[in-house]
Structure 1
Amino acid sequence: MVTEQLIWAIFFLPLASFAFIALIVRPFFNRYSIVSGPIAILAIGASFVLSILAFIEVAIKENHHIVNSPYDWLTVGQLKFTVGILLDPLTVIMLVVVTGVSLMVQVYSTGYMAPPKTDEQVNQSSGPNHHGPEELGRPVYARYFAYMSLFTASMLGLVMAANVIQLFVFWELVGLCSYLLIGFWFHRPAAAAAAKKAFIVTRVGDFGFLLALIYLFMKTAGVENPDQLNYLEIGTINEHLPVLVQTGLVSSGALTLIAVGIFVGAV
């Protein structure tokens, strides 16, 4: 049986890979930063295996229980902010997709990001819009796999988010990592321009998402809540938000605006 600790490990393994590469390998062991690739691959590979086990447990065995493990973080009025994980059939499918695709990308990247080994490769990489052979070496190699590990951890955190606040935080991290990876070769004008374009487009969507969350908070924070309903929890949001409409505390139009704002974030 897949325990809660193993589910948390799916997220924390790539996060630990990012921390180790970014804080230890790249600053202090640049000569050995070629190990960044294997470290990231091992971490993502372990997360992939655990994701498959979770998929078997929830989807194939039809054990369709929802695991929602929130830990209280902050209370504002009648509203509680929690940190936790949500595991349901949709989540386990996305866990396998995210970890599987990320694993294949990182295995491919070990060759793609390798420094040039022949004179011909060096000459090809030293054009006016390209990095020289030194820039294609180990420090950049470590930076790339640090970004990829953080990108994977952010996507996993988004998929496993138990509430919309966590969802927004990891959504922003995914956007940040996309910007960093798109503009990885920031000395190339095309890469820098593409990164700026992606950053601006995603920020517009994120603004709609943020407005929806603020509106949701304003409509629910001061509401009398004798049943301790949490309107931010993803696992029960479909059940709890209609209660506000039924009791007349929130209009159906306001609820529609909240949904549209969240959808704008996805666009």
Structure 2
Amino acid sequence: MTGYAYTVLIPLIPLAMFLIIGLLTVKWKPIVFGIMGTIGMGTSFVLSLITAINYFFVVGPGPNGFEPIIATKVTWLRLTEFLHIDLGVMLDPISVMMLVVITTVSLMVHLYSMGYMKGEVGFQRFYAFLSLFSFSMLGLVLATNIFQMYIFWELVGVSSFLLIGYYYEKPSAVAASKKAFIVTRFADLGFLIGILVLSFYTKTFDFADLTAPHTTIFAESASVSFMGVSVFTWAMILIFMGGAGKSAMFPLHIWLPDAMEGPTPVSALIHAATMVVAGVYLVARMFPVFHFQAPDALEIVAWVGGFTSLFAAVIAMTQFDIKRVLAFSTLSQIGYMMLSLGVSGYGGEEGLGYMASMFHLFTHAMFKALLFLGAGSIIHAVHSNDMNDMGGLRKYMPITHITFLIACLTISGIPPFSGFFSKDEILVAAHNYSTTLFSIEYITAGLTAFYMFRLYFRVFWGNERHYHHTPHESPLVMTIPLMVLAFASIFSGFLPFSELVTSDGIGFETETHLMVALPSVLIGVLGIVVAFILYKKESLVPKAITEKLGIFYTATLNKFYIDEIYLFVTKKVIFNYVSRPVAWFDRHIIDGFMVGIGKVTEKTSYEIKQMQSGQLQHYAFAFVAGTLILVLSILYCFI
């Protein structure tokens, strides 16, 4: 135990709220459960804030920078003399940062949901699931070892399934929850295999042993390879597969847009700020292993992230459902973070990409949660997700309008908002690594500004629609979280992040690189100007442009038919040429063999039961015949 032993309460309080709210059968007003969940989350938030202040500013770095602290740890399962699974709490710069991110966004969502979900059937169930998710995510980031992380990783998946399928009477919500669960389970199988391979050769699950800068646990197996590739490279690729599934990286991205079927506060909590960054956190947690033992795997991380960021941004430009635009925006921004980790070195300015990724994770959590909660406020007012049903809302929803504009400027990388500072560091890191990746992110920056202000102008400007009722601003319980997150979106960029969260725990100074930042801002402004010209007032120009783009626009609108490709492969190929033959073999060979054994047994028993006829003469005949055979056999042996 240490002076940070109280941190175990941070995840345990949401767990207690889940059990209390979920199991209480008292017929209280639904709002009581919302208040209980919010107070519980608020307590975890305060404890997280105290932990961050103590860790970063009161205690501060030691001679070797910020050192990991094991606040508490118990051995849960011992597998071998060396290999055991522990449960505990580990504090280091990225886990403390994630505590603040998760509890801040979760608290805002808990508060906001009391207004957004008012009157919904299952209000108590909703808050129980929110608390379960918060517990799972907090347990994940505080894990002392990779197997504990995997346990909570799966709990996060369960929580996501429950929240996406909250409207379980809607077939689309049920389908979306199953899709998310199945896709991420395939990815998590790779994660599990990677853990087993890594632990088999290193004889440990502990992060402290795996990520120590000068560890020797890899030396003995450094020469072991499979198909010409180091086993550690294979292990880290498989572990990244789990992260790619949870963070919805291409081609495992298909579940995230459909997950918008859940309530909008769920989208803000799970699919914008916390759950989808679990994959980024995983790569960051295992970064020393990636960097020193599997640099080829780290390069894969960079290119997958770069491609996903551009791919998702292109699709976002053509979508009309405001939540789907934001979903693809999330994919794109997570791609930025993955790319930044992939291009990073280790320590000092060499580790700029690592720091930039964590910085962008922090700022993105604030402005993307703000965007989703703002979208929820809009949907709450007009009862539609479709941009074609919106227009001129700035007059009716001033707070939502201003806070949403702040979020749009932030994600577009316009100074002095936080997104400018974190994105600038990513671009510098990419520029130092690869011209191609740097160019991809420059293009993505312009597309991001365009599709976000396309959304902004179509919703808040343009022509007013004939609404069924006059739209109105959301209640205070919903607008307060918007204002808090807007404040965070503006000022979180001024945090001295490079002095707090780095790859080796040792801070370093950064500066704005004008040769990178200035063109980036100009590209963002260009995207905003184009969106202003096309969408501030309704015109026929956008339709004319889409008609000229023809098949490319159609493909983009349909998300490049990736979902259809998956359906074709599963239904036409796997079901017909794998599942059907396996089912036939199971039905006719396996089942047939077992049925045959049963029939032979039944036939034999039918014949044998004739011996138990109940007739005395049959028994006397059998006795005499048996005796005679026995006597003759003995005589034969002695003659």
2:32 matched residue in structure 1: 35
Shift of 1:76: 2.1
Shift of 1:262: 1.1
Query: One-letter code of the match for 1:46?
Result: T
Shift of 1:243: 2.2
List alignment gaps of at least 5 residues for structure 2: 245-639
1:76 matched residue in structure 2: 79
1:170-225 deviations in Å (ceiling 9; x for gaps): 0001111111111100111221121121111111111111111222333345xxxx
Spell out the pairing of 1:65-214 with structure 2 (5 A cutoff).
65-68=67-70, 69-77=72-80, 78-115=82-119, 136-137=120-121, 140-214=122-196
Alignment size in residue pairs: 232
More displaced stretch, 169-178 vs 62-71: 62-71
Could you tell me whether the CA contact under 8 Å between 1:244 and 1:250 is conserved in 2? Answer: no
Cα distance in 2 for partners of 1:259, 1:241 equals 18
Query: One-letter code of the match for 2:125?
Result: R
1:12-58 deviations in Å (ceiling 9; x for gaps): 1111100101122xxx2134443110111001101001111111111
Secondary structure in structure 2 of the residue aligned to 1:236: helix
Shift of 1:261: 1.2
Query: One-letter code of the match for 1:189?
Result: P
Query: One-letter code of the match for 2:93?
Result: P
Matched, 1:14 2:21: no
Cα distance in 2 for partners of 1:21, 1:3 equals 31
Shift of 1:240: 8.5
Could you tell me whether the CA contact under 8 Å between 1:74 and 1:81 is conserved in 2? Answer: yes
Please report the RMSD computed on the Cα atoms of aligned residues, expressed in angstroms: 2.0
Secondary structure in structure 1 of the residue aligned to 2:129: helix
Shift of 1:158: 0.4
Could you tell me whether the CA contact under 8 Å between 2:209 and 2:215 is conserved in 1? Answer: no
1:254 matched residue in structure 2: 231
List alignment gaps of at least 5 residues for structure 1: 116-135, 222-230
Shift of 1:67: 1.4
Could you tell me whether the CA contact under 8 Å between 1:219 and 1:250 is conserved in 2? Answer: no
Query: One-letter code of the match for 2:76?
Result: W
Could you tell me whether the CA contact under 8 Å between 1:17 and 1:43 is conserved in 2? Answer: yes
Query: One-letter code of the match for 1:262?
Result: I
Matched, 1:49 2:42: no
1:225 matched residue in structure 2: none
1:228 matched residue in structure 2: none
Could you tell me whether the CA contact under 8 Å between 1:79 and 1:220 is conserved in 2? Answer: no
Shift of 1:259: 1.1
* Identity within the alignment, %: 38
Matched, 1:236 2:209: yes
Cα distance in 2 for partners of 1:170, 1:248 equals 29
Shift of 1:91: 0.9
Cα distance in 2 for partners of 1:107, 1:242 equals 45
Cα distance in 1 for partners of 2:128, 2:196 equals 32
Label 1:65 to 1:161 Cα distance change in 2 as closer, same or farther (>3 A).
same
Kindly name which structure, 1 or 2, has the bigger radius of gyration based on alpha carbons: 2
Could you tell me whether the CA contact under 8 Å between 1:36 and 1:142 is conserved in 2? Answer: yes
Cα distance in 1 for partners of 2:238, 2:128 equals 32
